[in-house]
Amino acid sequence: MRWRSIDARARRVICVIVFVAFSCVALIAQTAGVSQLRLMNRSGLIVAPSLQLPAAPISAAVADLNGDGNPDMVVTIQGSGNVTVLLGDGKGAFASGLSFPAGQQPGNVILADVNGDGRIDIVVTDRAAGAVQVLAGRGDGTFGAATAFPAIANPVAITAANISGKGKIDLVVAASTGIALLLNDGAGHFRGPSNFMLTS
């Protein structure tokens, strides 16, 4: 999910994520340069303590990262070079974030089991490197070192799908100049890319 800013007087809402299981909405609100994660119910009331984030967030994705059945969140932070993992407690609150290096300029993030081990992995675009970074999940909310796979210059978006029809999670990475297709070998290694450039 890419966050789009909506100015609201002194407070700026950076992102909205819906948690269907909780009938709540998680949002990032920024006030005086400070970003906070807040969980609100349908009436607009905050139902869990706000969690301050270290800086301006760029993108977020949600999945159960530690196998406890509760939704967790991964956030990319502008200028940090890291992804931040926020573990949910099942009551709408999140623990303080754990950071994992994710290349030079992590941007758009998705969560999927790309290596077929039953654990959720982090896949994030790296704009500066023209690549995607893959962090293998350990199943406990922590992740291994990032592995870079070349994609396309200045990637701005990413999605995952079974493009090859072989039951493996492949990646499609978009940039202003075109898209890159990265095929998964089933172990979380991506070959290619096959680039399709846009023409005017």
Residue 24 CB partners (closer than 8 Å, separation 6+): 18, 39, 40, 41, 42, 47, 92
pLDDT tens for each residue of 37-63: 666 665 655 555 566 665 677 888 888
**Closest by CA position to 180, among listed 192, 162, 163:** 192
For residue 16, pLDDT over 50 is answered with yes
Q: How far apart are CA 2 and CA 15, in angstroms?
A: 8
What is the 8-class DSSP label of residue 97?
Answer: P
Predicted local distance difference test score (pLDDT) of residue 133 = 98
Lowest mean pLDDT of 27-41, 53-67, 169-183, name the range: 27-41
Q: How far apart are CA 193 and CA 185, in angstroms?
A: 13
**Closest by CA position to 158, among listed 76, 87, 94:** 76
Strand partners, 25: 18, 40
For residue 100, pLDDT over 50 is answered with yes
pLDDT tens for each residue of 122-152: 999 999 999 999 999 999 999 999 999 999 9
Q: Are 50 and 36 in contact (CB under 8 A)?
A: yes
170 or 95: which leads in pLDDT: 170
Alpha helix locations (H) across the chain? none
For residue 14, pLDDT over 60 is answered with no
